[in-house]
Amino acid sequence: MREIDLIIFDFDGTLVDSREDIANAVNFTLRELGLKERGFQEIMSHVGKGLEYLMEKILGEDSISLVAQALAIFKDYYREHFKDNSLLYPGVKEMLEYFKDKNKVVVSNKQRDFVVLTLKGLGADGYFKEIIGGDNGKCVKPNPCPLNDTMQRFGIEKQKTIMVGDMDIDVLAGKEAGTATCAVTYGIGTREQIEKARPDYIIDDIKKLEEIIR
């Protein structure tokens, strides 16, 4: 087991299953723009690197000029429908309660207010000391800077920090920051991508963190 004082969590695909609400918001946006809807798996393949990246990929080169309009439509819709179907993954609430005395932070590439809204809506916002979104104006994963900034703010060294996420970009950010890394297999990222990034731990149940962290 590792002596850990700071647990940094990814959000979508790690703590919350928000896939259906994201896909619905994307397809609503496409309908509003008079464009063809996309399949669930195609949409998910572009999730994780921020909303602007998602929209650029979904619209493609032929409709790239519509990105700003698409972002506005998506945000307005998602703000009203962010938890129609979104749920905490099994075991998340129990795990957060188990680690109630640990410093816990969310570092997501998602817009911060959407993360906050969802956590509040699901009754899990009180577990985190800080929530960092991809719209903080600095950098996003896999760049390690949001992790480095968090460790510096809390005064916790990298040897006592772990990054927990469901995608290779989470693992890569943690490795670059020098933290321990743990990947979950039930989220948006594929197992192949996760294994290629070579995290320190791979778990299929978030409660298994209790067997890793002390």
Instruction: Look up the CATH architecture of domain 19-81.
Output: Orthogonal Bundle (1.10)
Quote the percentage of the chain above a pLDDT of 90.
Answer: 96
pLDDT tens figures, 18-35? 999 999 999 999 999 999
Rounded to whole angstroms, how far apart are CA atoms 171 and 43?
22
Count of other CB atoms within 10 angstroms of residue 211? 11
Q: What is the mean pLDDT of residues 40-69?
A: 94
pLDDT of residue 137: 66
Helices (runs of H) and strands (runs of E) counted in the chain? 9, 8
Q: What is the mean pLDDT of the chain?
A: 96
By C-alpha distance, which of 34, 30, 32, 143 is closest to 42?
30
Q: Where does 6-17+86-211 sit in CATH, by number? A: 3.40.50.1000
Q: Where in the chain is the domain with CATH 1.10.150?
A: 19-81
pLDDT of residue 150: 96
Rounded to whole angstroms, how far apart are CA atoms 18 and 16?
6
Question: 139 pLDDT exceeds 90?
Answer: no
10 as an active site residue: the answer is yes
Find the farthest-apart pair of alpha carbons in the chain and give their distance in angstroms, rounded: 53
pLDDT of residue 23: 98
Q: Where in the chain is the domain with CATH 3.40.50.1000?
A: 6-17+86-211
5, 10, 76, 168: which one is catalytic?
10
> Whole-model pTM?
0.95
b/e map of 125-158 (b: 16 or more CB within 10 Å)? eebbeebbbbbeeeebbbbbebbbbbbeebebeb
Q: What is the mean pLDDT of residues 96-122?
A: 97
Residues 39/42/48/54 CA torsion (nearest 10 deg): -80
Q: What is the mean pLDDT of residues 140-168?
A: 97
Asked if 127 and 15 touch (Cβ cutoff 8 Å), the reply is no
pLDDT tens figures, 41-52? 999 999 999 999
pLDDT of residue 136: 77
